[in-house]
Structure 1
Amino acid sequence: MLKSNKKKRTFHYSGALAGSVMVGLLAACGGQSDSNDETAETVWDRVQEEGKLVAATSGTLYPASYHAEDSDELTGFEVEILREVANRLDLDIEFSEMGIDNMLTAVNNGRVDVAANDIDITEDREEKFAFSEPYKHSYGSAVVRADDLSGIETLDDLEGKKAGGAATTVYMQIGVEHGAEEVIYDNVTNDTYLRDIENGRLDLVLNDYYLQTLAVEALPEIDVVVHPTLAYFPNSQAIIMKKDETELQEHINGAIEEMLNDGTISDISQQFFAGADVSQEPDVEIEE
């Protein structure tokens, strides 16, 4: 995602599902050991040798990962969490910016060590990847037209509505399951989505409540709102890495747990989410 307009705060539709894990099976013969066998290098071994952690993120998802206004500096809630994790592990960090649809593939093929971009923990992904301890808890909402809420009260009202976003997101999948018509976008900025809702090209965009609230507040001239009562899909986000990389996972978890316990993640959250602490589970009534 390198097309972000740096003067516009952007949110993108997270939840891409990509790739499958290739598992190597080593067969041993008749109890006989081979002293020449070499232990395969783990990601953690390589990270330690190189002294750096390579992380995929979008650079276009406000406030998780974006470029500060009038600056090339990459920042955001998850960017700063990754920086602090690397610091606590005595590592440098290198960011690789890419679209959400490419991140999990890059993790799987070893092009990056980890990815963080408001990536939801789902059962399907847990079968293919490893996750850190979660550090953000949220739920799904929708941006709709201000005058009529796009005719939506519950998820059942999505039948026939035009829902915008990326094809592979969890939120788009939820929309399609409830009868919404997909309108697929590539890598566009917030104002494109919100203006298309305002002008009727879209009826809604389904996404994370906190991200949508901040996006709408950042563009008050566009006549859209976050739906006042629609709440669904309680979810948690975390750093994602290759399956079975237990050493890397353990070290990252140790740093995350320290940061949760000493209030660091709460402080970072309040900086990027207008005072909200997303490390705590929200107290809302969720639609089943």
Structure 2
Amino acid sequence: MENETMPFFKTAAAVLTTGLLLTACGNGDGNETASDNDTGGEPSSWDEIEESGVLTVATSGTLYPTSFHDEDEGLTGFEVEVTREAAERLGLEVEFTEMGFDGMLTSINSGQVDLAVNDIDINEDREERFLFTDPYKFSYGAMIVRPDDFSGIETLEDLEGKKHGGAATTIYMQIAESYGAEGVTYENVTNDTYLRDIENGRLDVVMNDFYLQSLAIEALPEIDVVIHPDLFYHPNNQAMIMKEDSHELQEQLNRVIAEMMEDGTITALSEQFFGGQDVSQEPDVDFDDE
């Protein structure tokens, strides 16, 4: 899910309290990060990338835990490190360009970058216009609710008339409203705001990615909310996205991603950044129909 960006924080603990729940999609040091205003020409072919020795990649740098700045202000995160490892196996260095999600697909098409990573969903519309690598993250939607009665929600149909919090254009807001929920729009607030508003009754539910919601609740144990134990929906997967004619780059990346899945590298990175959880495996979960 191509999550919206969040403010810059210097510690992982602080990042955990930021806007992880605003989503629905998402540099190392100064030598590694290009500016948002760079312009590019035609996208590089694989031969040109190999000759230059550099893979150019768009990411947000503000989306914990997939792309964020650590306490030393260096760019890291699950997909950042997957990309670095893939590039190393291809004999390439990586140059990250940090930008908001809205600019990533445009930057791919303009040739500013070779690909983007930011928890970006694979979906039919994008597959008509871009290429994806094979997926390396599998996820699904969950709900944060009050623990005493699960906010009166037993099925997705019970969302009708409930108050759902999130950003206006996210896929999760769209899902909630499709079931008749009243959308309450927030602008770039932190997770504690969402969770406290569920606790105090201003909201009934926040719907979002299961893994991100798990991290948010773990980071804020003093707030009396839970993930609904019975309602899961919107299975989805994420991968690197690139221009629709980048077939050889796609093949090269798929080759090393398969190696990394096989040798456990992606599992290890997942467990490092997702609190011990392995997002590289398809979940064994019963999903409610949307």
Fold-level match, TM-score > 0.5?
yes
Aligned partner letter, 1:119? I
Q: Which has the larger radius of gyration?
A: 1
| Match status 1:16 vs 2:25 | yes
Q: CA deviation at 1:155?
A: 1.3
Deviation readout 1:128-174 (Å, 9 max, x if unpaired): 22111101112111122333322222211122223233333322222
| Uncovered stretches (5+) of structure 2, i.e. residues with no partner | 27-41
Secondary structure of residue in 1 paired with 2:198: helix
- TM-score, length basis structure 1: 0.82
Give the structure 1 partner of residue 59 of structure 2: 57
CA distance in 1, matches of 2:202, 2:244: 40
Cα shift at 1:41 = 6.2
Instruction: Report the CA distance between 1:62 and its aligned residue.
Output: 2.2
- Residue 93 of structure 1 aligns with which residue? 94
Worse-matched range after superposition: 84-93 or 52-61: 52-61
1:163 aligns with 2:160: no
Identity %: 62
Is the alpha carbon distance of 1:66 and 1:193 closer, same or farther for their aligned partners in structure 2, counting shifts above 3 Å?
farther
Give the Cα separation in 1 of the matches to 2:276 and 2:182.
35
Structure 1 residues 165 and 248, CA, compared in 2 at 3 Å: closer, same or farther? farther
Distance (Å, rounded) in 2 between the aligned partners of 1:96 and 1:41: 15
The alpha-carbon deviation at position 102 of structure 1 amounts to: 3.2
Q: Which amino acid aligns with 1:127?
A: E
The amino acid of 1:5's aligned partner reads F
Determine the structure 1 residue equivalent to 2:265.
264
TM-score, normalization by structure 2: 0.82
Contact 1:80 1:268 in 2 (8 A): yes
Output the aligned Cα RMSD.
Answer: 2.3
Q: CA separation in 2, counterparts of 1:43 and 1:188?
A: 41
Deviations 1:157-194 (A, max 9, x none): 12222323333332222222212233334444333332
C-alpha deviation, 1:212, in angstroms: 0.9
Equivalent position of 1:75 in the other structure: 76
Partner of 2:115: 114
Relative to 1, partners in 2 of residues 1:4 and 1:242: Cα closer, same or farther, differing over 3 Å? Answer: same
AA aligned opposite 1:232? Y
Question: Deviation string for 1:113-135 (max 9, x for gaps)?
Answer: 22222222111221122111101
Query: SS state of the match for residue 165, structure 2?
Result: strand
The alignment of Structure 1 onto Structure 2 pairs a total of residues equal to: 265
Q: What stretches of structure 1 of length at least 5 have no aligned partner?
A: 18-39
Q: For the structure 1 residues 160 and 238, does the alpha-carbon distance in structure 2 shift closer, same or farther, using more than 3 Å as the test?
A: same
User: Counterpart of 1:53 in structure 2: which amino acid?
Assistant: L
Superposition deviation, residue 103 in structure 1? 2.7
After TM superposition, the structure 1 stretch with the greater mean CA deviation from structure 2, 211-220 or 102-111, is: 102-111
Checking the alignment, whether the CA contact within 8 Å between 1:16 and 1:101 is kept in structure 2 is no
